[in-house]
Amino acid sequence: MRFLFTCLSSRGFVNPAIGIAKMLAARGHDILFASDASLETQLSEQDLPLSPPAQTSHVNGFDVSFWADPLHVAFQVKHIEAVAEQFTPDVIVGHALGLAALVAGERLQIPVGVVGLATYLWPTAESRLASSEDRRRKQGRQSAMLRHFNTIRSLFSLPEIGLDSERPLLGNLFLLRTVEALEGAVSNFPEQVHMVGACLWETDIVDPELEAWLDAACDADEVVIYVQPGRLFDRPHFWPSLLTALEGLPARVALTSDRMDCDVGPVSAKVFSRPHIQQGRVLKKASAAVLTANTTATLGALVAGVPILLVPGGGEQPDIAERCESAGIARVIQPQDASCDRLADELRIVLEDRLMRSAAKRMAERFALIDGRSTAATLLEHLASSQGAGHGRREPIAACI
């Protein structure tokens, strides 16, 4: 079988795609990635082929910052279609923000599998029992996403879809990266939705400098705290206050600063700061994590059984934060409330609360029961076989834009 993976050029989308693709390749299937040329080295190191777009400009058409921009998405659609005409995939594999994969799959009549985030983002029957804020957020998100989708569909003369159903955004198969213990019963979801665990993947290349720093923390009998601040957009950023709050704790901090929308500033030797850190290595030795509740970092903490202090921003983060808080594995502070004193108080609770630590360990055990990448690969195989392998070849589609 043939699987065409397409993703925005961001680790949060690329890494899980690599993990699932490697599993499918190990089972003898043909794999090809259609994305930006910036991923070529990373994919080639994993023996995964990439078909990058022709470099007609310096613009990265797969930049995550422009995931809903109609012209960027149209660029992605045309690239995916051009690759698919040659590769003839049985399934196109996209992700939760991958509107281009949905359009290309519909136009080429190829089934689409979507790799989701760590929580279900759309309204369900369960949402009627949730808080008014939760309902408002989910309904508003769904309407906004479908408006983006319809704008892009119009560029390709596809019919407009209603704003009252999330199903057009799910593809033929939707891989939700969570477990029932965190998300709730799957019976609330459409039939395309399957929970597949974390589906995390990271390179296994050893980082000697990071390992030495972690060993030094252990020798000094200091706790390790993993911090991934990320973007908070128009909300006040908590990093400067957190840095001050950490000064009074016998702790060392591993900081991933990639996509952080404030300056790191001057830090002491107790802070190991890089744009990207192998979070799995750090979380194995961490006593706590301070995150914005984005999917990748939060799943890393959940899989490692590490209690979390969450300061959620936008996107999926408020939903994930609510799930983690309800499960007793996280404390949550809103960005506007993240003063130095409040952060210090909450972080002490996260470090010292035995019930929270026990809940985090139990959640890690639940995630460990599911081999996420293997489960996702099997579901994608079933999708391909149910549609009939080799169905993807069609006459070329005339340009519509």
* 7-42 pLDDT tens trace: 998 899 999 999 999 999 999 999 999 999 989 999
Give me the long-range contacts of 240-243 (CB less than 8 A, separation at least 24).
240/265, 241/338, 241/339, 241/340, 241/343, 242/290, 242/338, 242/340, 242/343, 243/267, 243/271
Q: Which of 180, 14, 148, 24 lies closest to 94, judged by CA?
A: 14
For residue 162, the tally of other CB atoms under 10 A from its CB is 8
Task: Tell me how far apart the alpha carbons of residues 289 and 351 are, in angstroms, rounded to a whole number.
Answer: 9
Closest CA to 94 of 179, 30, 151, 16: 16
What are φ and ψ of residue 46, in 5° steps? -105, 15
Q: What is the DSSP letter of 61?
A: T
Q: Do domains 2-197+370-387 and 208-368 have the same CATH topology?
A: yes
Contact 19, 377 (CB under 8 A): no
Residue for token digits 């990266």? Answer: 177
Three-state DSSP at 253 gives strand
Fold of the 208-368 domain: Rossmann fold (3.40.50)
Single-letter amino acid, residue 322? E
Give the confidence band of 130 by pLDDT, cuts at 50, 70, 90.
low
Q: How many CA atoms, within 13 angstroms, populate the side-chain half-sphere of residue 99?
A: 25
Question: What gap in Å lies between CA 206 and CA 278, rounded to an integer?
Answer: 9
pTM, 2 dp: 0.92
| Domain boundaries along the sequence of the chain | 2-197+370-387, 208-368
Please check whether residue 127 is in contact with residue 140, taking contact to mean a CB–CB distance below 8 angstroms.
Answer: no
CATH number of the 2-197+370-387 domain: 3.40.50.2000
Distance in angstroms (rounded) separating the CA atoms of residues 361 and 289: 14
- Residues 181-199 have a mean pLDDT of 90
Q: Exposed, middle or buried by CB within 10 Å (0-12, 13-18, 19+), for 152?
A: buried
Tracing tokens 């012209």 back to the chain, one arrives at 71
Q: Are 379 and 196 a contacting pair, CB within 8 Å?
A: yes
Q: What is the pLDDT of residues 324-369, one digit of tens each?
A: 999 999 999 999 999 999 999 999 999 999 999 999 999 999 999 9
Does residue 50 carry a pLDDT above 80? yes
Residues ≥6 apart with Cβ < 8 Å to 230: 259, 260, 261, 291, 292, 294, 297, 313
pLDDT of residue 401: 40
In the prediction, which pLDDT does 164 show?
80
CB 201 within 8 A of CB 19: yes
Backbone angles phi, psi at 179, to 5 degrees: -130, 160
Please say if the pLDDT value at position 388 is more than 70.
Answer: no
